[in-house]
A and B are shown apart, each in its own frame.
Chain A
Amino acid sequence: MILDRTFLLKIAVGLALFALAAFSAFSLDNYQLQVGTSLAMLAVLCYAWNLVGGYMGYPSLATITFFGIGAYTDGIVQNLDQAIGVAWLAAAIAGAAIALLLGAALLRLKGHYFAIGTIATLEVAREIANNWDALTGGAIGLNIPIQMGSPEFVGRFFFLVMLALAVAAFLVTVVVDRTRFGFGLRCIRQNEQAASMVGIDVVRYKVAAFVLSGALSAAAGGVYASMVAYIEPKDAFNLVKTIEIPVMVMLGGMGTIFGPLIGSAFYVVLNEFVWANFINWHSGILGLIIVGVIYFLPGGVLGTRWPSAKGRMPMRARAAQPRTTA
């Protein structure tokens, strides 16, 4: 691992933010805890996507497939009277295993075909959850045992668990960013054939990133399912969510260690504001945000050169943006 002083400082800032969030858990009310939990969850999903979409440059739309698989695994295992921790572990393992299988097939595709193939996994998974009544409860959904305790206690508990998962995702990203593995992924993003020629085991790197991403997403899904105590196919395998995740990362900055966090935080704040004020126009405003990000912040908050203190906007800001090759 290559660690210079700036990078260590960045890690420290990140961990301090997470620690601050953890301590504040005891002074937040239930609504704030709920928003915080969904922010932590989205941050995990964004970090998970960032490994494949940001570092490796593969436009994956399968994040929510793994999230849903994790949610259902958690529900099924918990309904077998297993402890909640066992269910979460099972969710992460199921996510990793299915990512391994799907990755081996899908990662041979590129560009549009990869994007569409990953969307198809979501559609197939949703249909299976809809129709395999015996296992998933079908379209009626699946009830999951509710955590005992007062609403405040349960809210705080899940907030802290989700936050711990976000810290884990952040640390995974930090490690990936500074090791040979991450370097290999960035090479794949820039030119896969060249990466293979300089001796990077392209297939193994790609599958490994996909598995890591799948396990993180599925773990988030597992915790989410335990928290809401009821899941249904439409909620667990949601197409809009699977496209929102890359948008959030784009909003923050792809292939960076803070991009996913900043993007999901911005997004949650915007989302809460829009939900509270324009409920009928929610999806339309979401669309406007997406279009706005693409035209005005194509490199994300971190990739955009903001006007300097003297008020000049560098004209060449756009040329310097990170690009994914698709």
Chain B
Amino acid sequence: MLGQYLVNGLLTGGLYACLAVGFALVWGVLNVVNMLHGSMVILGAYVCIIGVQQFGVPLYVAAPLACIALFAFGYAVQRGLINRVVAQPILITLTLTFGLDLIVNNLLLYFVGATPRSLITNFGAVDLFGVRAPVVRIGGMLVAITLTLLLYWLLHHSKLGRAIIAVRMDRHAAALMGIRIPQIYALTFGIGALMAGAAGCAMALIYPTAPMMSGVFLGKAFIICVLGGLGSVPGAIVGGLVLGIAEGAGSLAFGPQWATTVGFVLMMAVIILLPSGLAGRKGFE
């Protein structure tokens, strides 16, 4: 029983890491709490679902297409809208992205409806020592973790990645080094949206998703980001796994209806006691 909860926690945790990493990146680099993140996850899920179910595109084509579409969406939103107010106090950027979230969510509700949909897949399950793990969830988690690690590699070993990190460290110094800040902001937001889209595709394989669930995903992203420490990719992985396991342990100890509460209480505790997060470094608060 305990083992099953632990495995479930790890499987969910991998997805959570992918869900939160885009949010963490945007928060860390742009200093924007992106309230639109949950809706971008849903948007990614629905591009994938509609591609597969309505147009008969195979999944391995539809999912990357969804990611590309989300990247374009994120880039355009940042370039056209958020860049104009990005230096304003956080209340402004937070409410702006919240307003955008309401618009996107309303459009989604109108065009795809409120009924939860998912991609029905059945690849069987693996049994190991009495612990059951559905193949699709293992696959989803592996893809999510791979993408997250890929992003980490990109940030540390490519010109773009170095530029993003430079902007995060010191925006003004980076500008003096010839980095075009608005461009980097837009690309970062695009990458954040891409990761949200990828998480959405993985979610669509595992859970039924509906536009109304965007708040749930956003809440998870908050928690993971705070748990892992602001803006760091490894932090998102740590935070995701910790949250997955904490929710598993919480539902074992108090019953499944308290799982979400356990996450938020954990987050409140970390935010107050360890403002740089479990894996974070000082100075990145």
Q: Which partner residue on chain A sits nearest B255 by CB separation?
A: A131
Q: Are A324 and B271 in contact (CB under 8 A)?
A: no
Q: Are B215 and A326 in contact (CB under 8 A)?
A: no
Instruction: Assess A294 versus B85: contact at CB under 8 Å? Given A117-B271, A127-B260.
Output: yes
Q: Which partner residue on chain A sits nearest B258 by CB separation?
A: A131
How near does chain B come to A285, taking the closest CB pair, in angstroms?
Answer: 8
A174 vs B272: C-alpha distance when bound (angstroms): 33
Q: Are B89 and A323 in contact (CB under 8 A)?
A: yes
Q: Kindly identify which residue among A108, A109, A283, A326 contacts B106, using a CB–CB cutoff of 8 Å.
A: A283
Q: Are A109 and B102 in contact (CB under 8 A)?
A: no
Chain A residues, Cβ within 8 Å of B98? 243, 287, 290
Q: Kindly identify which residue among A289, A291, A295, A326 contacts B91, using a CB–CB cutoff of 8 Å.
A: A326
**Beyond known contacts A112-B31, A290-B95: 8 more, CB 8 A cutoff:** A109-B275, A115-B94, A124-B265, A127-B264, A286-B102, A287-B99, A287-B101, A291-B100
A124 vs B272: C-alpha distance when bound (angstroms): 15
Q: Is B175 an interface residue (CB 8 A)?
A: no
Q: Kindly identify which residue among A53, A113, A123, A298 contacts B260, using a CB–CB cutoff of 8 Å.
A: A123
A124 vs B219: C-alpha distance when bound (angstroms): 11
How near does chain A come to B264, taking the closest CB pair, in angstroms?
Answer: 5
- 5 closest Cβ contacts across the A-B interface? A290-B99, A287-B102, A284-B106, A287-B103, A127-B261
Q: Is A33 an interface residue (CB 8 A)?
A: no
Q: Is B78 an interface residue (CB 8 A)?
A: no
Q: Are B90 and A59 in contact (CB under 8 A)?
A: yes
Q: Are A294 and B99 in contact (CB under 8 A)?
A: yes
Q: Is A246 an interface residue (CB 8 A)?
A: yes
Chain A residues, Cβ within 8 Å of B81? 291
Q: Are B99 and A128 in contact (CB under 8 A)?
A: no
15 chain-A/chain-B pairs, Cβ below 8 angstroms: A59-B90, A109-B275, A112-B33, A115-B33, A115-B91, A116-B222, A123-B264, A240-B102, A250-B95, A283-B102, A284-B103, A291-B100, A294-B95, A323-B88, A324-B89
How near does chain A come to B240, taking the closest CB pair, in angstroms?
Answer: 17
Q: Is B268 an interface residue (CB 8 A)?
A: yes
Chain A residues, Cβ within 8 Å of B31? 112
Q: Is A281 an interface residue (CB 8 A)?
A: yes
A117 vs B258: C-alpha distance when bound (angstroms): 19
Q: Are A106 and B101 in contact (CB under 8 A)?
A: no
Chain A residues, Cβ within 8 Å of B88? 298, 323
* Secondary structure type dominating chain A contacts: helix
Q: Kindly identify which residue among B33, B258, B267 contacts A120, using a CB–CB cutoff of 8 Å.
A: B267
Q: Is A191 an interface residue (CB 8 A)?
A: no
* Secondary structure type dominating chain B contacts: helix
Q: Chain A CB within 10 Å — which of B96, B98, B260 has the most?
A: B98
Instruction: Assess A116 versus B272: contact at CB under 8 Å? Given A131-B258, A286-B102, A290-B98.
Output: no
Q: Give the contacts of B80-131 with A (CB-CB under 8 A).
A: 81, 84-85, 88-92, 94-96, 98-107, 110
Q: Are B271 and A109 in contact (CB under 8 A)?
A: yes
How near does chain A come to B89, taking the closest CB pair, in angstroms?
Answer: 4
Instruction: Assess A246 versus B91: contact at CB under 8 Å? Given A109-B272, A123-B260, A291-B96.
Output: yes
How near does chain A come to B100, taking the closest CB pair, in angstroms?
Answer: 6
Q: Kindly identify which residue among B95, B104, B110, B268 contacts A117, using a CB–CB cutoff of 8 Å.
A: B268
Chain A residues, Cβ within 8 Å of B265? 124
Q: Are B89 and A284 in contact (CB under 8 A)?
A: no
Chain B residues, Cβ within 8 Å of A106? 272
Q: Is A208 an interface residue (CB 8 A)?
A: no
Chain B residues, Cβ within 8 Å of A128? 261
Q: Chain B CB within 10 Å — which of A53, A124, A128 has the most?
A: A124
Q: Which partner residue on chain A sits nearest B32 by CB separation?
A: A112
Instruction: Assess A120 versus B271: contact at CB under 8 Å? Given A112-B27, A246-B91.
Output: yes
How near does chain A come to B108, taking the closest CB pair, in angstroms?
Answer: 10
Instruction: Assess A111 versus B268: contact at CB under 8 Å? Given A287-B103, A291-B100, A294-B85.
Output: no
How near does chain B come to A218, taking the closest CB pair, in angstroms?
Answer: 20
Q: Give the contacts of B260-279 with A (CB-CB under 8 A).
A: 260-261, 264-265, 267-268, 271-272, 275
Q: Which partner residue on chain A sits nearest B268 by CB separation?
A: A120
A294 vs B100: C-alpha distance when bound (angstroms): 12
Q: Which partner residue on chain A sits nearest B267 by CB separation?
A: A120
Q: Give the contacts of B229-281 with A (CB-CB under 8 A).
A: 257-258, 260-261, 264-265, 267-268, 271-272, 275
Q: Is B226 an interface residue (CB 8 A)?
A: yes
A298 vs B92: C-alpha distance when bound (angstroms): 8
How near does chain B come to A23, taking the closest CB pair, in angstroms?
Answer: 36
How near does chain B come to A136, taking the closest CB pair, in angstroms?
Answer: 13
Instruction: Assess A243 versus B271: contact at CB under 8 Å? Given A119-B222, A123-B264.
Output: no
Q: Is A12 an interface residue (CB 8 A)?
A: no
Q: Are A291 and B99 in contact (CB under 8 A)?
A: yes
Q: Is A320 an interface residue (CB 8 A)?
A: no
Q: Which partner residue on chain A sits nearest B89 by CB separation?
A: A326
Q: Kindly identify which residue among B99, B222, B271 contacts A288, using a CB–CB cutoff of 8 Å.
A: B99
Q: Are A111 and B102 in contact (CB under 8 A)?
A: no
Instruction: Assess A295 versus B84: contact at CB under 8 Å? Given A106-B272, A131-B258, A243-B95.
Output: yes
